[in-house]
Chains A and B, each alone.
Chain A
């Protein structure tokens, strides 16, 4: 390393000043680069947000395992008493609660308020009565419990036995799928955004070609010449990511305020909470990295003075 190869401290403010000035001078091209990053990260962020909230729903259900025992619509009081007796006799099912047809209908009207009218038009209550049993998660996975569940299904008056952890497992698979889709879509878009930034920086470098030649002739190092371009890419990436987060937050607030109450249960799951700060930082870092890679590609390709 040459004795003077290290950049003087005073050059870093110069890098930022120059990068900001060049972005301002080339507003339109900079806007395209920032918009590309913002769109890419908004999509990635949307996937992350959905996965995050589904994850929260799973976490809420994760501590308990529930079995729903739906009775046939024509189940007699004797059959209901028989089922209740069987549950009381089996320790694992003892923590039970009877949900009458009326309670089931009330719950539906609460969760799906917009469909309440539809139900009202029916001649009779279509919801079956059921028992809800809280099962210890460790017990729910045991072979003995599976045997008991088989016995339960055979009891007269029982239409269906549903296990909560089955849909929790399905939800977990869905979360993995959403995360994967987000990573793939985000990755592809981030690469496209990085190339957009690379092209923007390349255009800027062409615009400043004469100036770059002068800088070289008066003794500016390649680092000094390339620094502002690298910072320009980094700034574009960072601003794009910040815009994406702001847009995502605005969309989240709008969704929570306008969609969640109207469509109740499903939407309230998806708008339960915003992304945690770690994921927000990751989005910012991702945008900044895409910007850096794009500008690095450009300045690397631009080469050095040919002598």
Chain B
């Protein structure tokens, strides 16, 4: 198997008193679906920022899609980021743009001809059941709806890697199930998925690999053992 995300002895220090990650080493194989968990301040968001190269590690190496992010040229950064579908905790939707324009902007960045934008945006929104909100502005939507728009934006280009920071944090249990199903389907289509979440129930029932962070260190790395429960079966299609 080929590692798509590889952290090798990564340390991230902000100053001499504040270290977000201590000597973190792990890798995620192509096609894997992995959960990253830990309490607030454990270093989850820092780790995701390192994957997107929003920041650089103080020590160690981060390799994503075969690119060593430390040595990657600045000019290559946008093209690297286009390979990653990132779902941000605060959604990062452009408020002055409608839902369609938010998606259309990504397609413009990707060089997709404008005549295809409507079709592709509609398809991405249909996947998150918000195709009727094409002309709404983000602030006219609930937190959960904004979250789903952000997911649609991340998935619109069928990225190699999907990274999501608390994607179900604003959702009720039914929607959580629906969203994780969307990620699972993207995973089945070949995307590698890494989800940072607090949702212990979701993780425990997933049957997926779970990396646990505590105070910037990996304290546990295991495959969750799902109890036989209807919710899990419906989400991941596992169990009897």
User: Which residues from chain A sit less than 8 Å from chain B, CB to CB?
Assistant: 2, 4-5, 8, 10-11, 13-14, 211, 213-222, 224, 304-305, 307
Q: Is the CB of A219 within 8 A of B82?
A: yes
Instruction: Give chain A residues whose Cβ lies under 8 Å from the Cβ of B114.
Output: 10, 13
CB distance from B164 to the nearest CB of A (A): 14
CB distance from A155 to the nearest CB of B (A): 85
Q: Is the CB of A5 within 8 A of B81?
A: no
8 Å CB contact of A218 from B53, B54, B55, B106? B106
Binds A, one of B72-80, B126-134, B170-178: B72-80
Instruction: Give chain B residues whose Cβ lies under 8 Å from the Cβ of A14.
Output: 108
- Cβ-based interface call for B92 (8 A): yes
Instruction: Give chain B residues whose Cβ lies under 8 Å from the Cβ of A222.
Output: 78
18 more A-B residue pairs beyond the given contacts A217-B52, A219-B82, A220-B78, with a C-beta to C-beta distance below 8 A: A2-B79, A10-B111, A11-B108, A11-B111, A13-B114, A211-B94, A213-B92, A216-B81, A217-B81, A218-B86, A218-B109, A219-B78, A219-B80, A219-B106, A220-B109, A307-B54, A307-B56, A307-B77
A167 to B38, CA, bound (A): 91
- Cβ-based interface call for B240 (8 A): no
Q: Is the CB of A10 within 8 A of B113?
A: yes
CB distance from B131 to the nearest CB of A (A): 21
Instruction: Give chain B residues whose Cβ lies under 8 Å from the Cβ of A220.
Output: 78, 109
CB distance from A207 to the nearest CB of B (A): 10
Residue in chain B with minimal CB distance to A1: B75
8 Å CB contact of B109 from A2, A219, A305? A219
Encoded as 1 (CB less than 8 Å from any A CB) or 0, chain B from 54 to 69 comes to 1110000000000000
CB distance from A20 to the nearest CB of B (A): 14
- Cβ-based interface call for B148 (8 A): no
Q: Is the CB of A2 within 8 A of B108?
A: no
Q: Is the CB of A214 within 8 A of B54?
A: no
8 Å CB contact of A217 from B54, B55, B74, B111? B54
Instruction: Give chain A residues whose Cβ lies under 8 Å from the Cβ of B80.
Output: 219
- Cβ-based interface call for B6 (8 A): no
Most buried by B among A13, A222, A305, A307: A307
CB distance from B63 to the nearest CB of A (A): 16
8 Å CB contact of B75 from A2, A215, A217? A2
Encoded as 1 (CB less than 8 Å from any A CB) or 0, chain B from 82 to 117 comes to 100010100011101000000001101111111000
Instruction: Give chain A residues whose Cβ lies under 8 Å from the Cβ of B105.
Output: 215, 218
